[in-house]
Chain A
Amino acid sequence: EVQLVESGGGLVQPGGSLRLSCAASEDTFRNFWMHWVRQVPGKGLVWVSRIDKDGSGASYEGSVKGRFTISRDNAKNTLHLLMNSLRAEDTAVYYCVGGSGTILEHWGQGTLVTVSS
C-alpha cells in the first residue's frame, strides 16, 4: 500500500507563505487523484483542494481559492501545496490524501501549520 509522508509544516506569520510537500512511496502515485484535507486540532475535517492524475485540473475550497495552489510532480511522486497570504484561521493539521477520484483512500500522518505572530 502506498505511504504518504507530508513535510513543510511549521510556524509562519500572518500574511506569510508556506509550501507543503507530500512524498509518495510508490509510482502508483501517478494513478491517484491527490487531495489536501485539513483539521484544526480537536475539530472536524475540511477538504481543501484536489488535483487530477496528470495535474491538468485542480479544485479548491472557497476560503483558500486564490491563495493556495496545488501541484504535483509525477516523475518525483510528489504533491505540493503552496499557501500564500496565510491567516490565523489556516492553522491546522494538513493531510495529504490519495485515491481513486474523489475517494480519500490513502492518508498521510499530517503536518501542522501554525499561523501566528
Chain B
Amino acid sequence: DIVMTQSPLSLPVTPGEPASISCRSSQSLLYSNGHNYLDWYVQKPGQSPQLLIYLASNRASGVPDRFSGSGSGTDFTLRITRVEAEDVGVYYCMQAQQTPQTFGQGTKVEIK
C-alpha cells in the first residue's frame, strides 16, 4: 500500500497569515495520463469531510481561491494564502493512484 505522510500534524495559525501543509507519498502518484492522483480534504469540527482540491491542484466547486494545491510525483503542498477562522479543522491528503486509496494522518489546523 502507498503510505502518505503529512507534516506538520498540528498547525497553530494566526488569522490573516499564510499556512501550508506538506504531504509525501511512498510512491509516485503521477499516472501515465499526466495526472497526479492526490486530493485534499478537510473535516471541520462536527462535520463530515469535504473535498478541497483534486488531482493535486484543482479546487473543488465552492472552495475559496485562498486555497491552492501544488506538487507532483511524491511531494505535494496545500497552501492557504490568508487563514480565516472558518478554516479550522483537520486536513487530509489522499492518494488514489493505487488501490487501496490511502489517507495521510491528518493535520489539525487551529487558531492561535
From B15-23, B47-55, B69-77, the one touching the partner chain is B47-55
Which residues of chain B from 24 to 41 have any CB-CB distance to chain A below 8 Å in the complex?
Answer: 37, 39, 41
Task: State the B residues within 8 Å of A (CB).
Answer: 1, 37, 39, 41, 43, 48-51, 54-55, 60, 90, 92, 94, 96, 99-106
A45 to B92, CA, bound (A): 8
Which residues of chain A from 70 to 117 have any CB-CB distance to chain B below 8 Å in the complex?
Answer: 95, 99, 101-105, 107-110
CB-contact partner of A104 in B49, B55, B100, under 8 A: B49
A99 to B105, CA, bound (A): 22
A56 to B56, CA, bound (A): 28
Prevailing SS type, chain B contact patch = loop
B39 A103 Cβ-Cβ under 8 A: yes
Number of A-B contacts (CB under 8 A): 55
Shortest Cβ distance from residue A97 to the other chain B in the assembled complex, whole angstroms? 8
| Residue among B48, B49, B106 with max Cβ neighbours from chain A (10 Å) | B48
A101 to B43, CA, bound (A): 21
A103 B96 Cβ-Cβ under 8 A: yes
Given A45-B41, A62-B1, A95-B49, A102 and B106 touching (CB < 8 A)? no
A107 B50 Cβ-Cβ under 8 A: yes
Interchain Cβ contacts under 8 Å between A and B, 23 examples? A35-B101, A44-B90, A44-B92, A44-B104, A45-B43, A45-B94, A45-B103, A45-B106, A59-B99, A62-B1, A62-B100, A95-B49, A102-B37, A102-B101, A103-B39, A103-B51, A103-B55, A104-B41, A104-B51, A105-B60, A107-B49, A107-B50, A109-B48
